[in-house]
Amino acid sequence: MQLALAEAEAAAGEGEVPVGCVIVREGRVIGRGRNARERLGDPTAHAEMVAITAAAGSIGDWRLEGCTLYVTLEPCPMCMGACLNARVPRVVYGAREPKAGACGSVVDLRAPAGFNHRVDVTGAVLGDACAEVMVRFFRARRGA
């Protein structure tokens, strides 16, 4: 999660909402991502999506079996959908996302009915530190 936090800090430095993500397989980071929506002008450029694309490219396979995705903010429905489609078996997130969280905060896409895959989710890992990055970013943005 510390590596994901470093990605979040880098996103904040670029003026992006500070969310960072890393994907680990067999103890090795195979994908990194941070929010890039503003920079790329792409609404799908969430940290998780960037990291999933990088990880798939790194191993040469769209199936991310045996991987753990670490992200500083609870994934949204799009990102959980991508985790399901990429066969990511485990997601670990930091701060809860009460407006769009898809691991139980707003909706629960960990094991949707009818899907042949489920995602094991662990939340609140370094949750305070992950939330603090967001709070600091939005305070500075609002000038408060």
Q: Which residues does the annotation mark as catalytic? A: 48
Report how far apart, in Å, the C-alpha atoms of 80 and of each of 62, 63, 64, 142 are.
15, 15, 13, 29
Question: Could you write out the DSSP letters of every residue in 52-117?
Answer: HHHHHHHHT-S--TTEEEEEEE---HHHHHHHHHTT--EEEEEE--TTT-TBTTS-B-SS-TT-S-
State the pairing for strand pair 20-25/67-73.
antiparallel
Write down the residue that tokens 């929010």 correspond to: 35
Report DSSP state, residue 16.
S
Let me know if 139 is exposed, middle or buried by CB neighbors in 10 A (0-12, 13-18, 19+): exposed
